[in-house]
Homo-oligomer: A and B are copies of this chain.
Amino acid sequence: MSAVAVRAMFRSHPEKPPHSEVMSRCIDACFNCVETCTACADACLSERDVSDLVGCIRLNLDCAAVCSATGSIMSRSNKAGHRQLLEAQLANCVAFCRACADVCDAHGDRHRHCAVCAEACLACADACSAMLAAMRMPA
């Protein structure tokens, strides 16, 4: 649903951003990852083996912070300049998402919320990579 709304936003944006389709998916994947990482950190806090999950909780919170920044920055990306900044932010986001997915996946069989979170992280990494690829293509 939210992907639909974001797409409608950028279709009616006065600057007609060139990659609005892939950009909308990227932004939506970022905020989806914020949601799942925030929820996963909280679910981990409720697990009995919480002391074993501290590293996962920290990375969940880190990943949520980076994805939130990326989502808002990409919403302002549809204009000239600062392409290098956007690319660095996207690459950074991919790295955090993959690291978080790895850590969550390592105990995804014991904690289903971690398996769900790993999926959302990988989906976000993919959407950010697709955005990076689109930006690097000749317009």
On A, residues with C-beta under 8 Å from B are 1-3, 5-6, 8-10, 12-15, 27-28, 31-32, 34-36, 38-40, 42-43, 45-48, 50-51, 54-55, 57-59, 61-62, 64-66, 68-69, 71-73, 75-76, 78-82, 84-85, 88-89, 91-92, 95-96, 99, 111-113, 116-117, 119-120
Contacts and interface: CB of A to CB of B under 8 A. Distances in A.
A75 B42 contact: yes
Contact of A73 (B15, B55, B62, B95): B62
Number of copies: 4
B65 A39 contact: no
A61 B60 CA distance: 13
A9 B68 contact: no
Nearest to A62: B73
Contact of A50 (B15, B50, B65, B79): B50
Given A32-B1, A76-B58, A43 B85 contact: no
Nearest to A114: B12
B43 A14 contact: yes
Counting from the closest, the 10 A-B pairs by CB-CB distance are A12-B112, A2-B32, A9-B39, A65-B69, A69-B69, A14-B46, A12-B113, A13-B43, A38-B75, A31-B31
